[in-house]
C-alpha cells in the first residue's frame, strides 16, 4: 500500500513516512466500501482524518470550501487578507492520485 503512490499521500501528495501512513477506504466501509486493494489508498493522518467517512466528491467539496470557511470564521485570516498576505480563491481540487493516474 505504501508504494501505491511512491510513498506519498494519495490525496494531498505530501511525502509520508511508512510509520505515519494510514490506509483510507476510497469508498468508506460505512458506505458499503470493501477492503479490496483497489478501494484503498495510502493517506497522511491529516487527510485521512479530514476525509473521515466522506465520499471522494464529498471530501473534494469540503476541501474546496476551505477558503470560504476561513473568510467567514477566522478573524486572523481576514486580517491577513486585508494586509495582502493571503488571497482567498476558489478552485477545483484534483487529488494527487488522480494526477498520477492521468500520467
Q: For cell 508504494, what's the residue? A: 3
* Residues 5-35: b if buried by 16+ CB within 10 A, e if exposed: beebbbbbbeebeeeebbebbbbbeeeebee
Whole-model pTM: value is 0.85
d(CA 65, CA 48): 17
In the predicted structure, residue 32 carries a pLDDT above the cut 90: yes
3-state secondary structure of 80: helix
72 compared with 84, residue with greater pLDDT: 84
Q: Quick one: pLDDT at residue 66?
A: 86
Residue 103 has pLDDT above 70, yes or no: no
Burial environment of residue 47 by CB neighbours within 10 A (0 to 12, 13 to 18, 19 or more): buried
Query: pLDDT at residue 89 above 80?
Result: no
Give the start-to-end residue ranges of the domains of the chain.
Answer: 1-53, 60-89
CATH 1.10.30.50 fits 1-53, yes or no: yes
Cβ within 8 Å of residue 102, ≥6 positions away: none
Dihedral sign, Cα of residue 100, residue 70, residue 23, residue 8 = positive
Mean pLDDT of the chain: 92
Q: Is the pLDDT of residue 75 over 90?
A: no
Categorize the per-residue pLDDT at 55 as very low, low, confident or very high, splitting at 50, 70 and 90. Answer: very high
Average of per-residue pLDDT across 76-80: 86
Amino acid at each position: 500500500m505504501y508504494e501505491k503512490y511512491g510513498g506519498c499521500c494519495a490525496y494531498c501528495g505530501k511525502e509520508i513516512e511508512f510509520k505515519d501512513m494510514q490506509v483510507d477506504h476510497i469508498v468508506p466501509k460505512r458506505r458499503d466500501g470493501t477492503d479490496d486493494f483497489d478501494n484503498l489508498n495510502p493517506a497522511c493522518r491529516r487527510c485521512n482524518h479530514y476525509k473521515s467517512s466522506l465520499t471522494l466528491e464529498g471530501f473534494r467539496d469540503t476541501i474546496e470550501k476551505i477558503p470560504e470557511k476561513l473568510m467567514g470564521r477566522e478573524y486572523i485570516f481576514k486580517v491577513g487578507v486585508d494586509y495582502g498576505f493571503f488571497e482567498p480563491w476558489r478552485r477545483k481540487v484534483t487529488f494527487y492520485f488522480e494526477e498520477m493516474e492521468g500520467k
